[in-house]
Amino acid sequence: MNIYKIIASECDWDEFDSCIVLAENEQEALDIADKATYNEYECYFSQGQYPLKVEKIDLTEKGIIHSSFNAG
């Protein structure tokens, strides 16, 4: 399994801008993010946030895996 960061192309207030997904490959990571529904455990991307971008997270280097700042 691999860890992927899924990033929205666009983000506005009250929207998720990214999520971290555990999957076997990039396509499966996108499929998981695409099928997510809004609830307390999953993120949800609206149609205006597509196309989603996928980044495989390198676990061989120390550092911050993800931070997100979207203030006004």
In a domain, 31, yes or no: yes
Of 47, 13, 19, nearest to 33 (Cα)?
A: 19
Residue 52: its pLDDT value, please?
92
- Report yes or no on 69 lying in a domain: no
Stronger pLDDT, 24 or 71, i.e. the higher one: 24
Cβ proximity of 57 and 69 under 8 Å: no
Give the count of domains, the chain.
Answer: 1
Phi, psi (deg, nearest 5) at residue 7: -120, 130
Residue 27 lies in a domain: yes
For residue 68, tell me if it sits in a domain: no
pTM of the model: 0.76
Which tens digit of pLDDT belongs to each residue from 9-55?
Answer: 988 887 888 889 999 999 999 988 887 766 655 667 888 888 999 99
Domain ranges, residue 31: 2-56
